[in-house]
Amino acid sequence: MPVDVFGARDRFDVPVDGLSRPDVDAFAAGDQLFDASLRPYDGLGPLYTRSACSDCHKDGVRGPGLVQKMVSVEADGATPSPDQSLFPYGHTVHPLLAADAKTPIVPPMNAPNVKLTIRVGPPILGRGYMEAVEDAEIQRVAAEQATRTDAIHGRVNYVMYASQPNPDTRFHQHQPGDRVIGRFGLKARIAAVDDFTADALQGDMGITSPLRPTEIANPDGLTDDLKPGVDVTADSVNARATYVRTTAIPLRTPDANGLQLFTSAKCAVCHAPTLKTRDDYPVALLAGIDAPVYTDMLLHDMGDTLADGIVEGLATGRDWRTAPLIGLRFNQTFMHDGRAHDVAEAIAAHAGPGSEANESVSLYQAMSAADRAALETFVDSL
C-alpha cells in the first residue's frame, strides 16, 4: 500500500509521494549514509575536499560546501590556454589531507593567467526525475533548438562513461568507455545518479568503491589510505543513489500568469518546464511522465562573463548545462558560484558578451516593474 508520508508545500528533502513503505525505508537509509561524516579509518583521503555528501548538499539543497577549480587561461580571462602543465593532478583544488598525505592540490603561487573559480554544491532534489528523462527526449530538444533563428542553440554533452559496471543493472548497463548522454554536474559530465555518487565519493572525499576503485592522482603518489583496498561497497554507493533518485520535487503552487511571462521572455526555451521520462524507469512513480524539471539538460554558451575555462566532455570553458529550477525557494544564493543573491540578480547574471541568454535578459528588462516582479515570484516559487 503506498504511503503518503509528507505533503506540506514547504517540506523538502523528503521522498517522492506515493512510495511504498520499503522504498521509504530505503530512502531513509540512503539519507543517513548521505549525511554520514567519513573518517580516515573509513577511507577518507588521502586528499579530500569534504567529509560527507551533505557538506555540499545539506538537506538535499544547495551548499554550503563548494569546490574550487583552477585553469590556465589566455589574456581574455576566459579561453583555456593550450598549456595546462601547471595542473598535473587535475583542475580541482583538494586542500585537505589524511592518511599520511603531505601535499595538497592547490592553485600555483604567483602563476600568471591562472583563473580560480568556485562551484557551490547544487541541490539534489528531483534528480531521479532527471535521470528518468529519455535520451531521445534530450536529443529531440537539441534538434529543435538547432533550427531556431535566435541565439539559443543547446547541445547534448556526449561523454565517455568512466566508472566500472554497477552490479545493480536496473537503471543502466553502461560499460567503461561507452558514449553516453551527460546530464549531471554543472556541465553535464555524468550520465547516471549512481555514477555521480561514486564520482563524488572518489573525487571529493577520496572514498573508493567498486565503481571508482582508484584513488585520485596526488603529488605524494599515494595509491591507498588508512583503510586498505576499496573503501565502500557497491551497495553503499547504491544506497546513497537510491536516496538521491527518490528525493521529491517540492510541491509547487501553479501560477499561469508567471509561467506566461517566463515563456514570453524565452526563459522556458532552456528551462523547459517538462521533459518526458522513459516508460521503463525502475522507480515506477517517475516512469512515463512529464517530469517538471525546468531544464533542457543541454549545454549552452553563457559567454565570457560566466566562463570558468574548464572543459568537461564537449562542454567548453563558456558552456554550462541549464540548471534545473527545482526548489529555488530554498536557495540563499543562485548561479553556479553563488554570485547572485536573488532571482533578479540571477537573471541579470545570464547576460554578457557572447551569452545565448542576452535576448532573454533584454525581454525581461523591457517588462513593466509589475511583470518583472511577477516573473521573479514565479521562478522563486519553483
DSSP summary character for residue 101 = -
Q: Tell me if residue 182 falls in helix, strand or coil.
A: coil
**pLDDT per position as a tens digit, 167-214:** 999 999 999 999 999 999 999 999 999 999 999 999 999 999 999 999
60 pLDDT band, cuts 50/70/90, is: confident
- CATH class held by domain 256-380: mainly alpha
Q: Where are the domains of the chain?
A: 256-380
Q: What is the DSSP string of 137-151?
A: HHHHHHHHHHT-SSS
Structure confidence at residue 105 (pLDDT) = 97
Mean pLDDT of the region 46-73: 92
Rounded to an integer, what distance in angstroms lies between the CA atom of residue 224 and that of residue 208? 9
Mean pLDDT of the region 55-72: 91
Residue type, 1: M
Rounded to an integer, what distance in angstroms lies between the CA atom of residue 125 and that of residue 327? 7
At which residue does the C-alpha cell 592547490 appear?
Answer: 106
**pLDDT per position as a tens digit, 301-341:** 999 999 999 999 999 999 999 999 999 999 989 999 999 99
| Phi-psi region at 361: left, alpha or beta (left = phi > 0; alpha = psi -120 to 50) | alpha
Share of the chain above pLDDT 70, in %: 98
Structure confidence at residue 8 (pLDDT) = 57
Residue 354: closest CA among 152, 172, 168, 200: 152
Structure confidence at residue 137 (pLDDT) = 98
CB 184 within 8 A of CB 196: yes
Phi and psi torsions of 372, nearest 5°: -60, -45
CB 34 within 8 A of CB 278: no
Mean pLDDT of the region 41-52: 95
CB 259 within 8 A of CB 374: no
Structure confidence at residue 10 (pLDDT) = 74
What cell was used for 365?
Answer: 528588462
